[in-house]
């Protein structure tokens, strides 16, 4: 299950998984693109390991890294609570 986390002004969506038994959380990022369909990348927490980066620039990944680093504590918490809505008891 993937949970919505954040939508950026350029329509980039950031979602995350539930916490896996090994303590890792998958953070998936995608942005619609007329030429390529969707640009996408995966970052694994807590190690910040990037993989499956498709058509995002190094600058984009650096920006996403900063966003994820500054919100990782929330993502890790929400991943154990059923996403933001679960953590907020909606």
User: What pLDDT score does 87 carry?
Assistant: 56
Q: What is the pLDDT of residues 53-89, one digit of tens each?
A: 999 999 999 999 999 999 999 999 999 988 766 655 5
User: What pLDDT score does 81 carry?
Assistant: 86
| Distances, alpha carbon 19 to alpha carbons 3, 12, 22, 30, 36, in Å | 11, 22, 8, 20, 30
Q: What is the pLDDT of residues 1-31, one digit of tens each?
A: 899 999 999 999 999 999 999 999 999 999 9
User: What pLDDT score does 83 carry?
Assistant: 77
Sequence spans of domains, the chain: 2-87
User: What pLDDT score does 1 carry?
Assistant: 86
- C-alpha to C-alpha distance for 53 and 63, rounded to whole angstroms: 14
Dig out the tokens for 37 from the structure.
């369909």
């Amino acid at each position: 299950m993937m949970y919505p986390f954040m939508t950026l002004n350029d329509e980039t969506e950031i979602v995350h998984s539930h916490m896996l038994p090994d303590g890792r959380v998958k953070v998936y990022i995608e942005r619609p693109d007329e030429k390529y369909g969707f640009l996408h990348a995966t970052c694994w927490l807590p190690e910040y390991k990037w993989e499956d980066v498709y058509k995002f620039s190094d600058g984009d990944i650096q920006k996403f890294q900063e966003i994820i680093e500054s919100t990782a504590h929330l993502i890790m918490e929400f991943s154990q609570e059923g996403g933001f809505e679960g953590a907020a008891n909606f």
